[in-house]
Amino acid sequence: MLYVIDNEYLKFLYEVDKEVYYNPSYSNKTKPFVGIIVFLDNLSYFIPLTSAKPKHSKFKTTSREHILITTPINDDNLSNKVYKKHMNNYIQMLSLIDIKKMIPTPEGTYTKLNFNDFDPTYKKLLLKECEFCVGNKQKNYKTAINLYTKQKETGVVLKRHCNFTILENSVNNWKKK
């Protein structure tokens, strides 16, 4: 399942940690800020999806901080797509599960995405992303728990990563609002 995060909550977290994905336009864009939910240390964590960009074609399909959402395509249908060669085929990169940008999400800060609210083309993309996330649930969780555990155990927050400890402490302040 894909979820949407409350824009005010994102803004609140962004003020604490500038690595949190936040853009004021999320509140009025037709393209929502979507992602998946995993449970870590008794907290639900939202892992954002981001649109595929040309720079992602240089990324590994899976790393300790992201997972590319891909689909096979024919090499005669490559125009206007972000793709990369994989073995003897091409794969289109639909989006990226950006695990290093995951944020704690208390109850009431997220809602399930209603696919029927979108035009057919975007709905098709969202359904493919959802299918990929469901089909790779264990992989997504394992990658998230490994990244989370490493940061919590070492106290080291890598460049362009959200600081999970600071964000978790901020959740208590949000709940008091």
Name the average pLDDT for the chain.
85
Query: Which of 13-22, 74-83, 105-114 has the highest average model confidence (pLDDT)?
Result: 13-22
Q: What is the rounded CA–CA span in Å between residue 102 and residue 167?
A: 10
Answer whether residue 47 is part of any domain. Answer: yes
pTM of the model: 0.85
Taking 80 as the threshold, does the pLDDT of residue 79 lie above it?
Answer: no
Angle at 130 between CA 15 and CA 57, to 5 degrees: 75
* Residue 76 domain flag: no
Give the pLDDT band (50/70/90) at residue 80.
low
Is 73 a member of any domain?
no
- Average pLDDT score over residue span 126-138: 91
Q: What is the mean pLDDT of residues 96-119?
A: 91
Q: For residue 171, what are the domain limits?
A: 3-51+61-66+96-176
Q: What are phi and psi of 158, to 5 degrees?
A: -70, 160
Q: Both tokens of residue 132?
A: 């990929």
- pLDDT grade for 118, boundaries at 50, 70 and 90: confident
Neighbours of 9 (CB within 10 A): 21
Q: What is the DSSP letter of 109?
A: S
Residue 89 domain-assigned (yes or no): no
Looking up tokens 């395509």, which residue turns up?
73
Domain presence at residue 72 = no
Residue 8 belongs to a domain: yes
Question: Quick check: is 56 in a domain?
Answer: no
User: What's the mean pLDDT in 118-122?
Assistant: 87
Sequential DSSP letters for 61-105: SB-SSEEEEEEEE-TTS-TTS-EEEETTEEEEEEEEEEGGG-EE-
User: Distance (Å, rounded) from C-alpha 177 to C-alpha 165?
Assistant: 20
Q: Compute the distance between CA of residue 140 and CA of residue 94 in angstroms, rounded to an integer.
A: 16
Domain count across the chain: 1
Residue 27's CATH number? 3.10.129.130
User: Which pLDDT belongs to residue 4?
Assistant: 87
57-73 pLDDT per residue, tens: 788 888 999 998 887 66
Give kind and range of the element (H or E) at residue 145: helix 137-154
Q: What pLDDT does 65 receive?
A: 94
For residue 32, pLDDT over 80 is answered with no
Residues whose CB falls within 8 Å of the CB of residue 155, separated by 6 or more in sequence, listed in order: 165
Q: What is the DSSP string of 5-67?
A: E-HHHHHHHHHH-TTS---GGGGT-SS--EEEEEEETTEEEEEEEEE--GGGGGS-SB-SSEE
| Residue 122 belongs to some domain of the structure | yes
Question: What pLDDT is recorded for position 143?
Answer: 94
